[in-house]
Amino acid sequence: MTDEVSENTTVETAEVETPSIPDLTITDLATFKTIIELASSRGVFKPLEMRAVGVTYTKLSQFLNFVSKKAEEKAND
């Protein structure tokens, strides 16, 4: 691809390939939750990291519960 910059100058621009979005499944998220639980039980996190880990864990748990309930509702319909 060529773009005009001025009367006498052109600049070659590379076409940028859009990276594909990696697959991330509900099973992956459940695995992440388990990893957090195991790491926490083994004392991997420092005290100053606990709040961020806890907030993230809570959000992940709530999301997984929501998805699970929606799947159950869909299965019952």
Specify the pLDDT at position 14.
66
- pLDDT tier, 9 (very low <50, low <70, confident <90, very high otherwise): low
What sign has the CA pseudo-torsion 35, 41, 44, 49? positive
| Mean pLDDT calculated for residue range 40-49 | 94
| Mean pLDDT calculated for residue range 47-67 | 95
Percent of the chain that is helix, strand, coil (3-state, to 5) = 60, 10, 30
CA distances from 69 to 5, 58, 61 (A): 56, 16, 12
Burial call 22-47: b when 16+ CB within 10 Å, e when fewer: eeeeeeeeeeebeebeeeeeeeeeee
Average pLDDT, the chain: 86
Does the pLDDT at position 11 exceed 60? no
Does the pLDDT at position 62 exceed 90? yes
